[in-house]
Amino acid sequence: NFLTKTILGKLDIEKCLTSVSTGGSTLLGYIGIDTIIEQMRKKTMKTGFDFNIMVVGHSGLGKSTLVNTLFKSQVSRRSAGWARDEKIPKTVEIKSVSHVIEEGGVKMKLTLVDTPGFGDQINNDNCWEPISKFINEQYEKFLKEEVNITRKKRIPDTRVHCCLYFISPTGHSLRQLDIEFMKRLSHSVNIIPIIAKADTMTTEERQEFKQRVRKELEMSGIEFYPQKEFDDDMEDKSDNDKIREAMPFAVVGSDKEYQVNGKRVLGRKTAWGVVEVENPNHCEFAQLRDFLIRSHLQDLKEVTHNIHYETYRAKRLNENGGLHPISSSDTQESNL
């Protein structure tokens, strides 16, 4: 599960075991090395986790509803006091809202980053720039904290771990804006493309559209998460190949419940019946949820830190000949 993966990610157990066996050391009795996992589990449960997710796509694609459905709570910006008569902004805005959610004793600080105004203008040239700027600003904040002489015990992590990119269910092809956005940002953030409001297409139309989107992404040289080059081993490659073949996930979101065959289910009611959100025969929401939260959440955080952030960090250090340690007062000024 997520907690176990976190612990194993921090502690390279395989290397430790290899060093013991290759060194020829044989344990004469029980020491208790294996309890390190439980020690780390307890400590991790006390501190909790950060997970920062960005949603991008033009208005009307159900971004807020899908996020609420994913986390089974009212976590979107709309749910946190968003006015329904709010006008579409003339430029792309970046708005964040954070919640602490808890399950099974595990706390997670979830931050949702919304991008109202994206793709909603007559002229959408360069509308990805404010988003790219925001992502890099979070890397810069983390970097400045790292080079402080007196560092915080735990650096606040506002870096975007995942960007859900909502594709309109046209059934035809990607818009040029879709291609431009993913091409420009795929090297700085983990992009997961999803087809929104999949219930507007038939099963056959959905499959054809998914194949067309995959082909267009490949032809444009866009690598979405999980990237092939970051597969750790053959087991990872096998698991991730299945996910890559299923993407982009065609999803439906809903925070409303209906009675179906004596059970309460999340769904969207139509004239023909209820589209069940978590029914794999109706849409691929369950696959997206399992992938995003239950199997790859920790990996999303690790790829953000070890690949995207390290790339930004190396570039910044090369540009400046190394960042000099800064005082806490300098950090406060930079955050104003």
What is residue 83's DSSP assignment? -
- For residue 215, what pLDDT is reported? 95
Top pLDDT among 124 and 210 is at: 210
Q: What confidence category does residue 324 fall into, taking pLDDT thresholds of 50, 70 and 90?
A: low
User: Residues 315-331: what's their mean pLDDT?
Assistant: 65
- Percent of the chain topping pLDDT 90: 60
Cα distance between residue 124 and residue 117, in whole Å: 10
Given strand 106-114, what is the order of strands in its sheet?
A: 95-103, 106-114, 49-56, 162-167, 191-195, 249-250
- For residue 42, what pLDDT is reported? 86
- 3-state SS of 165-183? EEECCCCCCCCHHHHHHHH
Cis before 226 (ω within 30): yes
CA angle 67, 44, 311 (to 5 degrees): 65
Q: Please, are residues 274 and 260 in contact by the beta-carbon 8 Å criterion?
A: yes
- Decide: helix, strand or coil at residue 204: helix
Q: Which domains does the chain have, with CATH numbers?
A: 34-320 (3.40.50.300)
What is residue 230's DSSP assignment? G
Question: 67-86, pLDDT tens digit by residue?
Answer: 999 998 888 866 555 555 56
Continuous H helices in the chain:
2-10, 13-22, 36-47, 63-71, 129-146, 176-185, 203-219, 234-246, 285-289, 297-303, 310-320, 328-335
User: Residues 15-43: what's their mean pLDDT?
Assistant: 73
Q: Please, are residues 100 and 107 in contact by the beta-carbon 8 Å criterion?
A: yes
Cα distance between residue 14 and residue 8, in whole Å: 9
Q: What are phi and psi of 124, to 5 degrees?
A: -105, 20
**Given a cut of 90, is residue 45 above it in pLDDT?**
no
Q: What confidence category does residue 5 fall into, taking pLDDT thresholds of 50, 70 and 90?
A: low
Question: 296-312, pLDDT tens digit by residue?
Answer: 999 999 999 999 999 99
**Given a cut of 90, is residue 168 above it in pLDDT?**
yes
- Percent of the chain topping pLDDT 70: 84
Cα distance between residue 120 and residue 60, in whole Å: 10
Question: 269-304, pLDDT tens digit by residue?
Answer: 988 889 999 999 999 999 999 999 999 999 999 999
**Given a cut of 90, is residue 165 above it in pLDDT?**
yes
- For residue 248, what pLDDT is reported? 96
Distance, CA of 39 to chain centre? 28
Q: What confidence category does residue 51 fall into, taking pLDDT thresholds of 50, 70 and 90?
A: very high
- For residue 121, what pLDDT is reported? 83
**Given a cut of 80, is residue 138 above it in pLDDT?**
yes
**Given a cut of 90, is residue 213 above it in pLDDT?**
yes
